[in-house]
């Protein structure tokens, strides 16, 4: 089973890294791929170029077995739609289960994603929650796909919705960018190697 963890990673931080590692271990994934977004369709375009966000991610996971960075969204023109990313992964991975991980905040907006129903044609969707909290009512479409059995994720290659509890650290990339802009030290919120990169390239200094 392969996990996909998308985001802008502007910059990557321990909130992303800790949850990615936890879901990899709990669900016994063979690999989790962090997929930086070139051009997010649903939010403002990040000022830091995608190649730099990718390099920060690579530094963050360089030593971590089973965690790797996937650059396919950087090599595609136009908005980075997750459904296109999953279709291209599906072509590569044949019938292997693919798990798309989204945070509870991202899941709340899932039904606004481009061709969102088709995400389930290529992957399972796994929502990373804190203390089992699922947000509001699920639509019929999502309810039909909901499973409480992790074995369903292994038995089928796509099509299920699953909620997984994780330790959510209260860290956000926005708060890190603000700290740096205010000349405060962001240490202990993200890897030192990434902080070094940010300093060398003078990022987020506004
Ligand atoms: P920003 O503050 O710029 O919005 P962010 O820190 O929320 O950024 P993104 O790159 O937008 O990070 O998030 C990518 C994915 O990581 C999303 O699915 C999001 O829900 C999840 N995520 C972000 N922060 C955390 C965190 N502290 N713990 C767990 N998951 C997180």
Ligand 1 shell residues, CB under 6 Å: 7-10, 15-16, 19, 102-103, 105-106, 128, 168-169, 171-174
Name residues whose C-beta falls within 8 Å of residue 122's C-beta, 6 or more positions apart in sequence.
83, 86, 87, 89, 90, 98, 158
Mean pLDDT, all residues of the chain? 95
Atom of ligand 1 nearest to the CA of 172: 6
pTM summary value? 0.95
pLDDT classification of 149: cutoffs 50, 70, 90: very high
User: Domains, the chain, ranges and CATH?
Assistant: 2-169 (3.40.50.620)
**Could you read off the pLDDT of 93-147 as tens digits, one per residue?**
999 999 999 999 999 999 999 999 999 999 999 999 987 667 778 999 999 999 9
pLDDT category, 61, cuts 50, 70, 90?
very high
Please give the C-alpha separations between residue 97 and each of 22, 25, 106, 186, 188, in angstroms, as whole numbers: 18, 16, 21, 37, 34
Q: Could you give the CA distance from residue 138 to residue 143 in angstroms, rounded to a whole number?
A: 6
Q: What is the pLDDT of residue 92?
A: 96
pLDDT for 71: 98
Q: Residue 199: is its pLDDT beyond 80? A: yes
d(CA 185, CA 57): 20
- What distance in angstroms lies between residue 172's CA and the mean position of ligand 1's atoms? 6
Count of alpha carbons within 13 Å of 205, Cβ hemisphere only?
7
Whole-angstrom distance, CA of residue 20 vs CA of residue 17:
5
Q: How far is ligand 1, taken at its centre, from the CA of residue 53, in Å?
A: 14
| Residue ranges with strand state E in 104-160 | 124-129
Task: Give kind and range of the element (H or E) at residue 100.
Answer: strand 98-103
pLDDT for the residue numbered 41: 82
Tell me what pLDDT residue 133 has: 67
**122 Cα distance to chain centroid:** 16
Q: Say whether pLDDT at 202 is over 80.
A: yes
- The string of pLDDT tens digits covering residues 73-92 is 999 998 999 999 999 999 99
Confidence check: pLDDT of 206 > 80: no
Give the position, in ligand 1's atom list, of the atom nearest the Cα of 175.
2
User: Given this model, what pLDDT does residue 131 score?
Assistant: 74
Average pLDDT over residues 152-158: 98
Query: pLDDT tens, 170-190?
Result: 999 999 999 999 999 999 999
User: What pLDDT sits at residue 182?
Assistant: 97
Q: Is the pLDDT of residue 43 over 80?
A: no
Examine the pLDDT at 40 and tell me if it is beyond 90: no
pLDDT value for 129: 94
Dihedral sign for Cα 8, 101, 174, 82, please.
positive
């Amino acid at each position: 089973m392969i996990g996909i963890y998308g985001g802008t990673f502007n910059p990557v931080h321990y909130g992303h890294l800790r949850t990615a590692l936890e879901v990899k271990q709990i669900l016994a994934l063979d690999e989790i791929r962090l997929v930086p977004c070139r051009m997010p369709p649903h939010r403002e375009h990040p000022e830091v170029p995608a190649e730099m966000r990718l390099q920060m991610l690579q530094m963050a996971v360089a030593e971590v077995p089973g965690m790797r960075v996937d650059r396919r969204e950087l090599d595609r023109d136009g908005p980075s739609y997750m459904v296109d990313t999953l279709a291209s992964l599906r072509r590569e991975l044949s019938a292997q289960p693919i798990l798309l991980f989204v945070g509870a905040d991202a899941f709340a907006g899932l039904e606004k994603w481009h061709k969102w129903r088709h995400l389930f044609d290529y992957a399972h969707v796994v929502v990373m929650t804190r203390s089992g909290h699922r947000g509001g009512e699920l639509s019929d479409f999502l309810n039909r796909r909901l499973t409480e059995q992790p074995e369903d994720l292994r038995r089928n290659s796509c099509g299920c919705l699953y909620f997984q509890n994780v330790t959510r650290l209260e860290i956000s990339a926005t708060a890190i960018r603000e700290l740096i802009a205010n000349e405060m030290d962001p240490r202990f919120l993200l890897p030192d190697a990434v902080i070094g990169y940010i300093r060398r390239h003078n990022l987020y200094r506004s």
